[in-house]
């Protein structure tokens, strides 16, 4: 068993952060309380409450200091030594920088996972920084083929350096039908057809583009016997207020339900009829995999590997590049009312690839291999 410390910016609610928390919880349960830790550069964040306090360490790095916060690097090295850490596993670019500084010229291996295309760090300075850091990182991982291709094209990282380890999710735990009915009623979703999504409310998630489409779709829906459509958004983030205001401005405020941040969003999937992911950029969305694992029909943009996964399992719609056609696509889905609970992911050829157990075992093998080389 190798002692592993995950290094992240913070544990605020986001897809990668949720993933790290689940990985750590699974590893602690399997290997013991001293097997795995989480180190944050900034504050801990809301998701930290899901982990034991003894397994958390906040560097409180002053990242504005150039070229880096030397005190934070010193504290990181001391923590790694005190806890006898064998592997630092960093997530995304800022954490990778401190991972390199904390492990260089030491017996601690360093694994870096990039969870998406990182379009916000595509300035030339960040591209060169990423390329240099990758040369000093023992293993660089992409969660999807699209992410890997972006790393090669945009961040000047050699394709031979990048390992592909797709994200994986745990088996979906069904929710009692009476509990689902009660939750739907509490949210005002009883006797409704629910399009829904789980994720951080940020610009990259594409809701500013999707809401006008949903408004046009609502105009096309007749007043017949069909269930009235609603949109359920589970999550929080910097764009929530703007999205709420946009929904009101479009006159669809009453048709959009904001559930806010949920520590465990999986049960909310049971309230949905169709999962929607209109992202502008993704790697391999964990929320999408969880939705498919729950049996939900998915409606996604063709970004990262999301479209490929939906096409592979055959239980979803890939939205057209032109969002002018989206309302018609939503209407077709609504009128066809696809079966809500088809276990396509578990029964597909790629089921093992997208399982959490396979993902974590692949990382375990990588940890052991790297440690043996040092």
Is 60 exceeded by the pLDDT of residue 28? yes
Domains of the chain from N-terminus onward: 4-168+355-369 (3.40.50.2000), 177-353 (3.40.50.2000)
Q: What is the pLDDT of residue 179?
A: 86
Is 90 exceeded by the pLDDT of residue 369? yes
Is 90 exceeded by the pLDDT of residue 14? no
Distance linking the first and last C-alpha atoms of the chain: 16
Q: What is the pLDDT of residue 52?
A: 98
Q: What sign for the dihedral angle of Cα 170, 175, 181, 185?
A: negative
Most distant CA atoms of the chain, gap in Å: 70
Mean pLDDT of 260-275: 88
- Are 315 and 289 in contact, with CB atoms under 8 Å apart? no
Chain position carrying tokens 């394709």: 159
pLDDT more than 90, % of the chain = 71
Res. 240 pLDDT band, cuts 50 70 90: very high
Question: What DSSP element (H or E) covers 326?
Answer: helix 326-336
CA distance 112 to 21: 16
Res. 338 pLDDT band, cuts 50 70 90: low
């Amino acid at each position: 068993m190798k002692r592993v410390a995950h290094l992240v910016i913070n544990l605020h609610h986001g897809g990668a952060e949720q993933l790290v928390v689940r990985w750590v919880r699974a590893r602690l349960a399997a290997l013991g309380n001293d097997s795995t830790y989480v180190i944050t550069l900034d504050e801990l964040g809301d998701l930290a409450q899901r982990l034991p306090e003894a397994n958390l360490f906040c560097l409180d790095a002053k990242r504005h200091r150039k070229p880096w916060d030397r005190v934070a690097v010193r504290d990181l090295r001391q923590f790694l030594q005190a806890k006898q850490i064998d592997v630092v596993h960093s997530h995304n670019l800022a954490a990778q920088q401190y991972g390199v500084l904390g492990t260089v010229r030491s017996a601690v291996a360093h694994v870096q996972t990039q969870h998406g295309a990182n379009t916000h760090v595509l300035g030339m300075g960040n591209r060169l920084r990423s390329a240099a850091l990758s040369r000093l990182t023992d293993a660089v991982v992409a969660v999807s083929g699209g992410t890997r291709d972006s790393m090669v094209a945009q961040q000047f990282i050699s394709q031979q350096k990048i390992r592909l380890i797709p994200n994986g999710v745990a088996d979906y735990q069904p929710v009692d039908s009476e509990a689902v009915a009660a939750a739907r009623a509490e949210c005002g979703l009883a006797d409704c057809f629910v399009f829904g999504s789980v994720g951080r409310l940020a610009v990259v998630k594409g809701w500013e583009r999707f809401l006008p489409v949903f408004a046009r779709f609502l105009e096309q829906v007749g007043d017949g016997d069909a269930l009235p459509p609603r949109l359920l958004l589970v999550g929080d983030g910097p764009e929530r207020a703007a999205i709420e205001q946009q929904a009101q401005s479009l006159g669809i405020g009453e048709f959009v339900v904001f559930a806010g941040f949920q520590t465990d969003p999986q049960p909310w999937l049971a309230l949905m009829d169709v999962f929607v992911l209109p992202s502008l950029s993704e790697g391999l969305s964990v929320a999408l995999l969880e939705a498919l694992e729950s049996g939900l029909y998915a409606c996604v943009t063709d970004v990262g590997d999301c479209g490929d996964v939906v096409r592979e399992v055959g239980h979803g719609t890939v939205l057209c590049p032109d969002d002018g056609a989206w309302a018609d696509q939503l209407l077709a889905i609504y009128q066809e009312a696809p079966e809500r609970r088809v276990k396509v992911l578990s029964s597909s050829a790629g089921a093992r690839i997208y399982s959490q157990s396979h993902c974590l075992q692949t990382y375990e093998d990588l940890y052991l291999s790297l440690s043996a080389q040092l």
